[in-house]
Amino acid sequence: MNDAMFQYLLRLGDTTLVLSQRLSEWTGHGPVLEEEMAVANTALDLLGQARMWLTLAGEVEGKGRDEDALAYLRDAPEYRNYLLVERVNGHYGDTVARQFVFDIWHYLLLKRLQSSSDERVAAIAAKAIKEVAYHARRSSDVLVRLGDGTDFSQRRMQESLDDVWRHVGELFHDDEVTQTLAASGVVPLHQSLKGAWYEHVAAVIDEATLVMPPAEEAEHPAHRGGIQGRHTEALGYLLAEMQHLQRAYPGATW
């Protein structure tokens, strides 16, 4: 139970940390100033959530590792984030598609985690969901604006949605970790989020005048493994940049 809890907290902490790092890469490169500021704020929100999850993970592990040690002193195979969030940003439509499918899932998960039998998990979820509710509204709005915009923006947005879809299935995969914790009421089975996610996502995609990719496209097993530590090379490059200062100057402080 304790190991399952540690592993699950790493999934939440690593996923929000890696996505925060990806979004921060848009700083200075956004398509318009308003979007750049919004993406930077989302990155900061996710970083704050990552800190809470990783701090709790360190406490559960009980080996003296704090949020910084877990963030900066682990190699890629030790990370437990979903493959979806380590994808390179691509063009802005790619980032929007990734954020949209993640935000809806993230909101639904946090909504359920607020009722966790573990008070610490419930408290973090209750704090984070206020931010994530905004993330979900915003990414949905941008998806609609780009999808229901020009012929060019609609085509690019559809291509981005089709491309990101193959990484959706892992979000709803239940392994021994989630099954163990769900049996004690700590977390929900992720499969139980699927129906509400598809319903919400379908409504937004329809409003955006886009076509929802086939459900089977999200179930390819080749696009899973991140939560077990099997990652793409993209994560290695991301961590090399993110961890460089701490690795080059161990224990450095400001």
Q: Is residue 222 pLDDT above 90, yes or no?
A: no
Write down all domains in the chain, each with its CATH number in brackets.
2-248 (1.20.1260.10)
Between CA 93 and CA 100, with CA 97 as vertex, the angle to 5 degrees is 135
Distance CA 164, CA 159 (A): 9
The residue among 160 and 249 whose pLDDT is bigger is 160
Task: Report the b/e string of 172-204 with b at 16+ CB within 10 A.
Answer: bbeeebbebbbeeebbbebeebbeebbebbeeb
Which pLDDT belongs to residue 223? 77
Q: Is residue 60 pLDDT above 90, yes or no?
A: yes
Structure tokens at 155: 């085509």
Using the 8-state DSSP alphabet, how is residue 189 labeled?
-
pTM higher than 0.85 for the full model? yes
Per-chain mean pLDDT for the chain: 94
Which pLDDT belongs to residue 130? 96
Confidence of residue 120 (pLDDT cuts 50, 70, 90): very high
Sign of CA dihedral 138, 139, 141, 142: positive
Structure tokens at 127: 């704090």
